[in-house]
């Protein structure tokens, strides 16, 4: 899984290029989350077949399949995580705040 970092202050709020970068970043985050979720869902499957194969080959196939499934779901509109992350990035950007503390 990829760890993504950003500097919200370096992203200007209303340029098309920056909006595209924010959208892309949000979609990448959603894809990473979904890949992790799908990986957990399929990790305990046993038996024959592409998701139940045993050994390194089965594990590699399962990982590739779950990654592609996550990309496909995210590109198709996802589950709403990317929209929420994008909105939060815009809010952080407009406030000029690079660290978001939800405890307050």
Residue 11 has pLDDT above 80, yes or no: no
Which is nearest to 21 in space by CA: 101, 85, 98?
85
What is the arithmetic mean of pLDDT over 84-104? 75
- In this structure, are residues 72 and 79 in contact, taking their beta carbons and an 8 Å threshold? no
pLDDT of residue 18: 82
Length of the chain: 104
pLDDT higher than 60, residue 8: no
Tell me what pLDDT residue 56 has. 67
Tell me the C-alpha distance between 30 and 103, whole Å: 23
Residue 88: CB partners within 8 Å, gap ≥ 6?
Answer: 100
pLDDT digits (tens, 9 = 90+) for 31-71: 999 999 998 888 777 666 655 566 667 777 888 888 999 99
Q: Does residue 96 or residue 10 have the better pLDDT?
A: 96
Calculate ∠ Cα 10-104-1, nearest 5°: 55
Provide mean pLDDT across the span 19-40: 91
pLDDT at 2 over 50: no
């Amino acid at each position: 899984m990829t760890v993504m970092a950003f500097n919200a202050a370096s992203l200007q709020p209303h340029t098309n290029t920056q909006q595209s970068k924010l959208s892309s970043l949000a979609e990448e985050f959603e894809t990473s989350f979904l890949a992790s979720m799908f990986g957990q869902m399929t990790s305990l499957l046993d038996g024959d077949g592409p998701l139940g194969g045993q050994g390194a080959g089965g594990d590699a196939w399962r990982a590739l399949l779950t990654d592609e499934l996550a990309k496909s779901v995210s590109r198709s509109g996802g589950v709403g995580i990317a929209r929420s992350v994008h909105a939060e990035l815009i809010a952080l950007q407009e406030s000029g705040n690079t660290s978001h503390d939800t405890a307050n």
